[in-house]
Structure 1
Amino acid sequence: MAPVTDLHVASPTDRPDPAAREAAVVARTPAPRTRRTLAADLRVLGVRPGDVLLVHTALSTLGWVAGREQAAILALQDAVGPTGTLVVPTQTGSNSDPSEWQAPAVPADWWDTIRGQLPGFDPARTPSDGMGWLPETLRSWPGAVRSTHPQTSFAALGPAAASLLARHDLDCRFGDRSPLAALAGAGARVLLLGAGYDACTAFHLGEARSAGAPRERLACAVLGADGERRWVDYVDVVADERDFATLGAAWEATGAVTAGPVGSAHARLFDLDAAARFAATWIPVHRAGWS
């Protein structure tokens, strides 16, 4: 995951040409990827019926997929079956204090206007920000549920969706009062589908639980129970994924990760709770200024 204060929408001139991007994906795909082939690859990797999967994706790494993100979600559903549940991050990092924005920064004389006018987070209406097409498509899928955190929400689809996302306290983005703790308790597994360890929110659960975790003040726009928009601030453990690639390499070296191809993507599958526990012990030792 990128730092929550750094996710902002690029201008149209900054976006790569969609046709050129798709042509590049076609050129590096030996055969079309489909719902059926992706589901088969997921089963070979070790995804089982009934699994609860926290999925982090880089969709383009799958290769050219007939049906794009819709086919990928259907393949994931096929792999976990009707008793399984899929969970994805649907974060809204641009719902944050403009004084912290860096990519891009905005003029200081805009800050008060933004704080006063930024729409309050609405789980049903607020789109995810910088998460990619698959999480955003799953978020809007019939029957999907979304947690209520205004910056670090998750969406889920399946029979356990509502119970897993029921609690997501404002001052607990990734800790024991967030869906990550519920996922850990439910025996969920993490599927990195072409995504790197920098996207692994399970490590943020370990981060939140680690000794000496520093805290920071954050702010965002919310909708109160009365429907009124408010600008609120809160204090939570610092979320910093800059060393997650190194942490992930150490985690993978333990032998706890199953890796293999899904389409053209390099996929990794592992236990969420075990990864969080590993992170909770690794971070205080290896991260400067943490303990």
Structure 2
Amino acid sequence: MPTPLPTGPLVTRDTIAEALRDLGVRPGESLLVHSSLRSLGWVCGGPVAVVQALLDVLGPDGTLVVPAQSGDLSDPALWSRPPVPEEWWETIRAAMPVYDPEITPTRGVGVIPETVRTWPGAVRSAHPHASFAALGPRAGQLMEGHAANCRLGERSPLAKLETAGARVLLLGSGYDSCTSFHLAEYRIPAPLVEVGRPGPHGWEVVTEVSISSERFDELGHDFERDRPVVRGRVGAADARLFPVADAVAYAQRWLAVHRPREGDFPHPAA
């Protein structure tokens, strides 16, 4: 049988940049991007072209930020995609490499963040599970000080992005990936959870705020209904643009009413 033609549309660095400008992405701003390469269509140049287009639009004074999470550096007892045999757990805990911002790959956030992480000049924050990576003149300032026991709270880059007036770009991604909503979880009563991970002196367990993306799709639907969210298309992808601060403030009110934290939610598994 003949090989089927690729699914379009054909997307290039220039057409991505043009669509981002039409959407309202501005030179010089700080932009937190959650992305899906596949959603864009057939991208000439793949993730490199997408990052180049983002940098083209942000310009030399803008800063690009992406999630660079590495949730596989976690307790194998919690793994479900896929699970591993219980008799392996202790060996995995003993042998798992310690987080290194320079070489630990991202997991579960897509190929575009991994491309940013490995880009010349990229700066990555220090949290072993929930780091961010950034390119641009404010990268160092935004990434520094990410506390080892604060995944997505006040001592993470999210709080700095909020203060800096940064905006979120959902580029083919849904609200379930919107990390800004997690910052709101730190500002309402929430249970704590013990999180295991490899540390410099062996396996360690730290106490973190329990986080969950449960009902984030509903939260995003209501947020978009009630707040000014810019919507458009980039290639075949739906795109949404809004301030981090707006998302956090809305989520803080919404979660307190619609998702009371009476008990703990399961910790996200690797």
Tell me the TM-score normalized by structure 2.
0.93
Question: What is residue 237 of structure 2 aligned with on the other side?
Answer: 265
Is 1:172 aligned with 2:129? no
Quick one: distance in 2 between partners of 1:132 and 1:248?
21
CA deviations on 1:54-82 (whole Å, 9 max, x unpaired) are: 00001111111110100000100011111
Contact 1:218 1:233 in 2 (8 A): yes
Is 1:282 aligned with 2:254? yes
Question: What is residue 172 of structure 2 aligned with on the other side?
Answer: 194
Question: What is residue 143 of structure 1 aligned with on the other side?
Answer: 121
What's the CA shift for 1:202?
Answer: 0.4
Quick one: distance in 1 between partners of 2:158 and 2:199?
21
Alpha-carbon RMSD across the aligned residues, in angstroms, is: 1.4
Quick one: distance in 1 between partners of 2:123 and 2:262?
34
Quick one: distance in 1 between partners of 2:199 and 2:30?
29
CA deviations on 1:29-74 (whole Å, 9 max, x unpaired) are: 14x2111110000000000001100000011111111101000001
What's the CA shift for 1:290?
Answer: 4.2
What's the CA shift for 1:221?
Answer: 1.1
Residue segments in structure 2 that go unaligned for 5+ positions in a row: 264-270
Quick one: distance in 2 between partners of 1:217 and 1:197?
26
Question: What is residue 247 of structure 1 aligned with on the other side?
Answer: 219
Quick one: distance in 1 between partners of 2:250 and 2:128?
28
What's the CA shift for 1:256?
Answer: 1.9
Quick one: distance in 1 between partners of 2:122 and 2:37?
20
How many residues in Structure 1 have an aligned counterpart in Structure 2?
Answer: 261
Quick one: distance in 2 between partners of 1:52 and 1:154?
13
Is 1:94 aligned with 2:72? yes
What's the CA shift for 1:107?
Answer: 1.4
What's the CA shift for 1:158?
Answer: 0.4
Quick one: distance in 1 between partners of 2:70 and 2:249?
26
Contact 2:190 2:261 in 1 (8 A): no
What's the CA shift for 1:237?
Answer: 1.1
Quick one: distance in 2 between partners of 1:73 and 1:285?
38
Quick one: distance in 2 between partners of 1:243 and 1:286?
9
Is 1:230 aligned with 2:202? yes
Residue segments in structure 1 that go unaligned for 5+ positions in a row: 1-19, 224-228
Question: What is residue 215 of structure 1 aligned with on the other side?
Answer: 192
Runs of 4+ aligned residues of structure 1 deviating over 4 Å after TM superposition are none
Question: What is residue 16 of structure 2 aligned with on the other side?
Answer: 38
Quick one: distance in 2 between partners of 1:106 and 1:230?
20
Question: What is residue 15 of structure 1 aligned with on the other side?
Answer: none
CA deviations on 1:186-228 (whole Å, 9 max, x unpaired) are: 1110000000000000000111112x211111011133xxxxx
Contact 1:247 1:279 in 2 (8 A): yes
For 1:267, give the aligned amino acid. Answer: A
Q: Name the SS for the 1:253 alignment partner.
A: helix
CA deviations on 1:102-130 (whole Å, 9 max, x unpaired) are: 12111111111111110000000111112
Quick one: distance in 2 between partners of 1:70 and 1:215?
39
Q: Per the alignment, do residues 289 and 207 of structure 1 end up closer, same or farther by CA in structure 2, a change over 3 Å counting?
A: closer
Range with bigger deviation, 253-262 or 185-194? 253-262
Q: Name the SS for the 2:193 alignment partner.
A: strand
Contact 2:116 2:133 in 1 (8 A): yes
Question: What is residue 106 of structure 2 aligned with on the other side?
Answer: 128
Question: What is residue 55 of structure 1 aligned with on the other side?
Answer: 33
Q: Per the alignment, do residues 183 and 290 of structure 1 end up closer, same or farther by CA in structure 2, a change over 3 Å counting?
A: farther
